[in-house]
Amino acid sequence: MTLSWGQIARLGQVQMALGAIVVLTTSTLNRLMVVEFALPALLPGALVGLHYGIQLSRPRWGFTSDTGGNRTRWIIGGMAILAAGGIGAAFAVTMFAQNFALAIALSIISYGLIGIGVGASGTSLLALLATATAPDRRAAAATITWLMMIFGIALTAGLAGQFLDPYSPQRLITVVAVISTLALLLTTLAIGKIESRVTPMRPEAPTPFMHGLREVWSEPKTRNFTLFVFLSMNAYFMQELILEPYAGLVFGFTPGQSTSLSGAQNGGVFIGMLTVGIMATGLKIGALRTWVMAGCLGSCAVLTLICMTGFADTALNFTYLVIALGFFNGMFAVAAIGAMMALASQGRGQREGTRMGLWGAAQAIAAGFGGLTGAVLVDVARTFAPDGPAFGAVFTFEATLFLAAALMAARVMETPQATMPATLVPGE
């Protein structure tokens, strides 16, 4: 027995809860460190990089998804660890003004817990999806759960932004604690007894982890796509830690306004993903390679316009530009996910989870490296130039990476297999 559409939607709620906690730590908290506490952007960049670095264990989790096992306890337990890390990270931010050393120590512990929680819960969830979803529904299931995660991020950022103003340490801790607790409760209720009611598909003969990983890496398509994921995700995540500080330093956004800006951006991501799903699935327009390239090139163009707002006063509306950036980011991301799910079933059999884990690790490395690189470049540039041009120069570099990703997609992605699955919408 495999997952029904209703069960897939319930697992999507878990992904939504995960995104709700993570967005607070990667957007709101890093903005507070840089703007309110005047700390170098390198600090939150290093902390977020730590959380991504811990996720290098994803290939191991993916390999476990190929051999089956009880994952419900890891999904719930991982979410509990993530919630504790999120609350701890918020409390650590409020401590910087009183005890810098203690705040740093608590931040490191908290972001470490966040990395463990995301790796345990998120990867176990994807493992359950990969092993218990019918082959013809896998790509659709991944798309649905990703959309729900983006919806959770956008909704959380928007609501949190409303409750954070006027900012106070007590208000910050309260907002993060409430969201984290609700996320854990939603996860527990959503996961229920789903795993016990489905039969995960397992390989007949288990293979040692390193041997399986070497087999997958030896496949040219898998290896080339891994490199593409690394490059494109560097571009995707480079603005993650600097966009909200940019809004605060250059445009005078309050903590609540910049958090709402993150919600608006992720709202754009959601619309971009939905657009590709409707166009490629419902109307059969365009191959995945085309949508990936369009998303990368559109992101490049919007980042160029955002860069212009940093160098001079323009008539461009910064919020609208951020929404447009989210739209093209979402277009690229969901098309890449579709291609990823299609490629996961190509090559040696019973290695879908290992390939997804490998690409997940490449994404985690790129996310940490890209975010940290963006923060470091901003810190360096701000020593030579005012805030606007300093941030603008980094946005220009990010735009160049998106251009390179579009060119690479044209080479490594194949058009014949690049159509979205026909079962994107539940009930079809």
Residues 6+ apart with CB under 8 A from 413: 225, 228, 288, 289, 292, 339
pLDDT above 90 (res 205):
no
In this predicted model, which residue has the larger pLDDT, 394 or 364?
Answer: 394
So what's the pLDDT on residue 352? 59
CB atoms closer than 10 angstroms to residue 235: 26
Instruction: Evaluate the CA torsion angle 191, 52, 157, 164 in order and state its sign.
Output: positive
In this predicted model, which residue has the larger pLDDT, 108 or 62?
Answer: 108
426 band by pLDDT with thresholds 50, 70 and 90: very low
The Cα–Cα gap between 270 and 289 comes to 19
pLDDT above 70 (res 286):
yes
Dump pLDDT digits (tens) for 366-376: 887 888 899 89
Taking the CA of residue 275 as centre, how many other CA atoms within 13 Å lie in the half-sphere pointing to its CB?
18
347 band by pLDDT with thresholds 50, 70 and 90: low
pLDDT above 70 (res 427):
no
Q: What is the mean pLDDT of residues 197-206?
A: 57
So what's the pLDDT on residue 351? 57
Q: What is the mean pLDDT of residues 53-58?
A: 77
So what's the pLDDT on residue 336? 82
Dump pLDDT digits (tens) for 70-125: 778 888 988 999 999 999 999 999 998 889 999 999 999 999 999 888 888 887 88
The Cα–Cα gap between 359 and 302 comes to 27
Q: What is the mean pLDDT of residues 176-201?
A: 86
For residue 427, the SS3 value is coil
In this predicted model, which residue has the larger pLDDT, 351 or 300?
Answer: 300
Dump pLDDT digits (tens) for 136-168: 676 567 678 878 888 888 788 778 878 887 888
So what's the pLDDT on residue 56? 75
Is the separation of the CB atoms in 118 and 22 below 8 Å?
Answer: yes
65 band by pLDDT with thresholds 50, 70 and 90: low
In this predicted model, which residue has the larger pLDDT, 254 or 354?
Answer: 254
CB atoms closer than 10 angstroms to residue 188: 16
So what's the pLDDT on residue 190? 93
Instruction: Evaluate the CA torsion angle 338, 146, 228, 115 in order and state its sign.
Output: negative
pLDDT above 90 (res 189):
yes
In this predicted model, which residue has the larger pLDDT, 131 or 262?
Answer: 262
pLDDT above 60 (res 428):
no
Q: Angle between the 352-382 and 58-67 helix axes, to the nearest 10 degrees?
A: 170
So what's the pLDDT on residue 240? 81
pLDDT above 80 (res 349):
no
So what's the pLDDT on residue 390? 93
CA angle in degrees (0–180, nearest 5) for 358-361-363: 110
pLDDT above 60 (res 61):
yes
So what's the pLDDT on residue 278? 82
Q: Say if pTM beats, i.e. exceeds, 0.95.
A: no
Residues 6+ apart with CB under 8 A from 194: 3, 7, 10, 11, 72, 128
